[in-house]
């Protein structure tokens, strides 16, 4: 706490940060409200256009949160609507992902028709393909008569579901308390260096995916590493992590 003299003695002076800090400390980002203001007074984002000016991007948040319903978002003719080709957007999304064998998807459809739910369909799909392809999510949405946005929202909410293709060998480094204390972060770093990918990444040859998980159920073997769903390695050191990668590569060459 800094002090300064005002002629009659020293008084305390509250530390003051930058102008940006002074603004940020008055914002509750979770509630999107200004701290100390009355209810419904909030902070709403603007977007910056190419000319450098800011404008509302019509998120309708102000309209929905107005306590007296005095705000209404409507079309403004001086700002023409941007064209959006739904068919072209879907085609681009489909082209960005690899083709999948839809014959394998019959199991998912059969279980859905037997009464399985959305989450179970995700698990079955991921067991089949190793991830959740967009085409599969679209089929699930159609079978359950749900909007695709809702199906995608649920799939993207849970960390155990993958929305991108994974490698043939998925290496999971346990980051539970026991493993973390025993050196799991160093093991993960060794894998990342050897594979030349970050945690959560997949190698270009689609052989390896490196991920961290909360627990693999092998605390007595900390730090533990799992390859796929069946192969578990205990008390792994950074050097052993590098050797494991070499062994897996040799296994592929054999």
pLDDT at 185: 93
Residue 124 in contact with residue 105, Cβ under 8 Å? no
pLDDT at 15: 53
pLDDT at 253: 84
Q: Identify how many contiguous H helices and E strands the chain contains and give both numbers.
A: 10, 10
Any idea what DSSP says for residue 213?
Answer: E
Torsion, Cα of 122, 126, 129, 131 (10° steps): 100
pLDDT at 155: 92
Cα–Cα distance between 66 and 39 in angstroms, integer?
10
H/E element, 139: helix 134-144
What parts of the chain have a pLDDT lower than 50? 1-2
Cα–Cα distance between 215 and 38 in angstroms, integer?
44
pLDDT at 243: 95
Q: Are strands 2-5 and 225-227 parallel, antiparallel or unpaired?
A: unpaired
Topology (CATH level 3) of domain 169-253: Glutaredoxin (3.40.30)
Helices 106-113 and 134-144 pack at an angle, to 10 degrees, of: 20
Cα–Cα distance between 173 and 177 in angstroms, integer?
12
Closest by CA position to 149, among listed 202, 86, 209: 86
Cα–Cα distance between 112 and 151 in angstroms, integer?
14
pLDDT at 192: 94
Backbone angles phi, psi at 5, to 5 degrees: -95, 135
Cα–Cα distance between 132 and 162 in angstroms, integer?
6
């Amino acid at each position: 706490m800094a002090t300064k003299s005002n002629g009659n003695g020293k008084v305390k002076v509250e530390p003051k940060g930058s102008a940006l800090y002074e603004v940020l400390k008055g914002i509750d980002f979770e509630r999107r409200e200004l701290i100390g203001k009355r209810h419904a007074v909030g902070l709403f984002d603007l977007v910056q256009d190419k000319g450098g000016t800011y404008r509302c991007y019509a998120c309708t948040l102000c309209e929905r949160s107005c306590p007296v319903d005095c705000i209404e978002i409507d079309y403004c003719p001086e700002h023409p609507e941007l064209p959006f080709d739904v068919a072209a957007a879907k085609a681009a999304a489909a082209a960005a992902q690899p083709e999948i064998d839809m014959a394998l998807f019959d199991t998912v459809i059969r279980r859905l028709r037997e009464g399985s739910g959305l989450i179970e369909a995700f698990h079955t799909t991921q067991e089949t393909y190793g991830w959740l392809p967009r085409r599969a999510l679209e089929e699930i949405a159609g079978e359950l008569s749900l909007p695709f946005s809702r199906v995608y929202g649920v799939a993207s909410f849970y960390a155990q579901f993958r929305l991108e293709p994974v490698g043939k060998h998925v290496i999971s480094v346990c980051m539970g308390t026991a493993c973390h204390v025993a050196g799991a972060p160093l093991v993960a770093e060794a894998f990342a260096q050897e594979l030349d990918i970050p945690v959560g990444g997949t190698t270009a040859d689609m052989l390896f995916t490196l991920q961290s998980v909360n627990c693999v159920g092998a605390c007595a073997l900390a730090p533990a590493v799992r390859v796929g769903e069946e192969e578990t390695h205990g008390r792994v050191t950074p050097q052993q992590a590098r050797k494991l990668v070499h062994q897996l590569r040799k296994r592929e060459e054999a």
